[in-house]
Each structure stands twice: as structure tokens, then as C-alpha cells.
């Protein structure tokens, strides 16, 4: 009997770009990709922080490079991808949240969130896809979205709007890029314990609300996202495109 063979999770020979890689989910994604053999370019606005991370990653024997990049600057992003690509894998974890009641939303806050979470993400994905199409290569493009791209949340109208938009353009791009064997997917985490979310978890009322909504009864950890990144980046997900991988502990199942 000839048994089916499990597709490889190895990323050896693959070049990956991770935006928002200086901390949190982006950093975890960069580490996961490097651990599985990818040559990883870590992009973020904080150059000093990136240099420190890259040095430590190289000390672990991984292939890593730093790229100072603000993806809300569309032209600079396109130029950087053109000069440093093509990239077989993209993980976009750059994002911004400014929470308030909808009746109190400031125009400046709305614009800042949309510029980074939607416009920046859209044109970064476009730039990486263009590079792959130009050389006739397949690829896997992953946008870190959110469970809030599928449900509403109190004081999160702007953030939810931005993540619903990410879900929409990722699905539309997946249809267009499928002819080029370029896959586009999103990962949708629940609340994950990071330096940025610690103030939220420090509030007893907010913490209780979060843990009540997460059916598995705990907040997310960075490690919970790493396997999802490897799955979508690797051959194991060759037939997966235009989908949202929920890593939400059951939040959206209710």
C-alpha cells in the first residue's frame, strides 16, 4: 500500500518578509519562520530594536535581516519591496488600535488607524504580490487580522472597521492572485498577552469580559500564533487561500 505523504513544513530556501516584526505577534512570526528555515527580513519603524533582534537571531544560527519600514508610507514600502524582494512569504503584523466610544471617535484617530491597518496592509500585500508575479513565482501572503474582523466589540468601532476591511481585501486578492499560485489568507487572533495588551488585562472588568468570551478560558499567548503562521506559509496549506484562520479560543464560535 502506498500511503499519502504529509506535506513539508520546512521553509528552507524561502525568503520571508515580516512587517511589524520588532515586537509581539510580528516578532513571534519572524522567529517561527526562521526556525523552519526561511531567510527572514524583519521590517518595522524601530531600527535600533530591529538590529538587536537580528543580531540575536543570527546568534541562534538563523538567517535574518533588518529593514526599517513604515508601511503607511506607500511609496517607500513599494520601493523597499522592489529593492529587497521578491519574497516568497509575507506576514504583515503592523497595526494600530485607538479605542473609544463611536460617538467620541476623533478624525485623526480614525485616519491613523485606517492609514496603517488598511491602506498600509493593502499596498504592502500588493507590492509583494507584484514582485512574485514579475518573476513568475508562487507565494503565501498572510495578514494578521483579528477576531474583531468578524465580530463587533465595545469601544472598537474603528478597529473593527479596519479589520473587516483587511478580511475583505484579502479575500478579493486571493481570487485575483490564484491564477499566479499566490495564496492570500488572514490569521485572526483573540486577545493575546503582549506588552501592548497588559494594561487591558490589568483592568479586572476587562479581563473578566475577555476570559468569559474565550471559551477555552485563557488569553492567547504568542506561541499560539506561531504554528498558524508556519501552516499558512508552508506546503501544508497549498490548497488554502482566501480564508481566515481563527486563533480565538472559541470567541467567534458563539
Please identify which of the residues 123, 159, 177, 191 carries the catalytic annotation: 159
The answer to whether 9 and 36 are in contact (CB under 8 A) is yes
Residue 65 burial by Cβ neighbours in a 10 Å radius (0-12, 13-18, 19+): middle
Percent composition of the chain: helix, strand, coil (DSSP 3-state, to 5): 50, 15, 35
C-alpha to C-alpha distance for 39 and 61, rounded to whole angstroms: 11
Q: Which of 31, 49, 28 is nearest to 40 (CA)?
A: 31
Q: Which of 220, 207, 208 is nearest to 249 (CA)?
A: 220
> Residue 231 catalytic?
no
Residue 86: asked if its preceding bond is cis (omega within 30°), the reply is: yes
Q: What residues act catalytically?
A: 159
Amino acid at each position: 500500500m502506498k500511503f499519502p505523504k504529509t506535506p513539508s513544513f520546512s521553509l528552507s530556501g524561502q525568503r520571508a518578509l515580516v512587517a511589524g516584526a520588532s515586537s509581539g505577534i510580528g516578532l513571534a512570526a519572524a522567529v517561527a519562520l526562521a526556525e523552519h528555515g526561511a531567510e527572514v527580513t524583519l521590517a518595522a519603524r524601530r531600527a535600533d530594536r530591529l538590529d538587536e533582534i537580528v543580531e540575536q537571531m543570527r546568534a541562534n544560527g538563523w538567517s535574518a535581516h533588518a529593514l526599517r519600514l513604515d508601511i503607511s508610507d506607500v511609496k517607500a514600502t513599494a520601493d523597499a519591496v522592489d529593492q529587497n524582494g521578491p519574497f516568497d512569504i509575507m506576514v504583515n503584523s503592523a497595526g494600530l488600535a485607538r479605542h473609544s466610544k463611536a460617538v467620541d471617535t476623533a478624525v485623526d484617530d480614525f485616519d491613523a488607524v485606517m492609514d496603517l491597518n488598511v491602506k498600509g496592509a493593502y499596498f504592502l500585500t500588493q507590492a509583494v504580490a507584484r514582485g512574485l508575479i514579475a518573476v513568475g513565482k508562487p507565494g503565501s501572503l498572510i495578514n494578521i487580522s483579528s477576531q474583531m474582523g468578524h465580530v463587533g466589540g465595545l469601544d472598537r468601532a474603528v478597529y473593527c472597521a479596519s479589520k473587516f476591511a483587511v478580511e475583505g481585501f484579502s479575500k478579493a486578492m486571493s481570487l485575483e492572485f490564484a491564477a499566479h499560485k499566490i495564496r492570500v489568507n488572514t490569521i485572526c487572533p483573540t486577545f493575546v498577552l503582549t506588552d501592548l495588551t497588559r494594561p487591558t488585562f490589568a483592568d479586572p472588568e476587562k479581563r473578566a469580559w475577555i476570559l468569559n468570551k474565550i471559551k477555552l478560558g485563557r488569553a492567547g499567548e504568542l506561541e499560539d500564533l506561531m504554528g498558524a503562521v508556519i501552516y499558512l506559509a508552508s506546503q501544508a496549506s497549498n490548497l488554502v487561500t482566501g480564508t481566515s484562520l481563527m486563533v480565538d479560543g472559541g470567541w467567534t464560535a458563539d
